[in-house]
Structure 1
Amino acid sequence: MNSVSSVWYVYLMQCADQSLYTGITTDLERRLRQHNGEIKGGARYPLSRRPVQLLWHEIWPTRSAASQREYQIKQLPRSAKLQLLQP
């Protein structure tokens, strides 16, 4: 089954230990539930840092564009990531 979405999200979550996690998904609600252990799936990093909360997200048209933006954000220092939250 090949699921193609027209929208990709790049997101920033804060873990219970105050660390930040950046990822991409086509379904923010599902991904948050996965990271919090409510449903199967989710990344290894937040596994021992639950609960997590969604802080910020951006919408991108393709997986490639979302992945590139995710990489850019992951290279930023914490202070710059937190600046993304500013309006």
Structure 2
Amino acid sequence: MKTYYVYILECSDKSYYTGFTSKLEARIRDHQIGTYLDCYTYSRRPVSLVFYAMFTDPNQAISTEKQIKKWSRAKKEALINNEFEKLPNLSKKKFN
């Protein structure tokens, strides 16, 4: 059975990049060496892997990647730090 990954990289400027791949080690290496000039991480190297999740369904992995990309920095950091109890509160919209 094939495995798919959703991953989060921390870039040298402290921003986060979220991606999807079926070959995690090779994809991280691509980010690290700057294989793709037009990639977000190219000018923000070095990068470090701070989170990944494995999936057997590629559609679920892609859906999760799209969802995480929309998250706030605080919510991504809660995920990275395994602070899952914080996720619901970070999902609530703030009204003034």
Once the two structures are superposed, residues 53-77 of structure 1 have per-residue CA deviations (whole angstroms, 9 ceiling, x without a partner) of 0000001112211110001101100
Decide which structure has greater helix share.
Answer: 2
Check the 8 A contact 1:9/1:28 in 2, yes or no.
Answer: yes
Written as runs of structure 1 = structure 2, the 5 A alignment for 1:1-87 is 6-37=2-33, 40-41=35-36, 44-87=39-82
If asked which structure has higher relative contact order (CA below 8 Å, sep 6+), I would say: 1
Number of equivalent positions: 82
TM normalised by structure 2 equals 0.77
Please tell me whether Structure 1 or Structure 2 has the larger radius of gyration of its CA atoms: 2
RMSD over equivalenced CA pairs, Å: 1.8
Aligned-partner Cα distance in 2 for 1:22–1:43? 15
Where do 4+ consecutive residues of structure 1 move more than 3 Å? 40-43
Identity across the alignment (%) = 37
TM-score normalised to the size of structure 1? 0.85
Structure 2: tracts of 5 or more residues without a match: 83-96
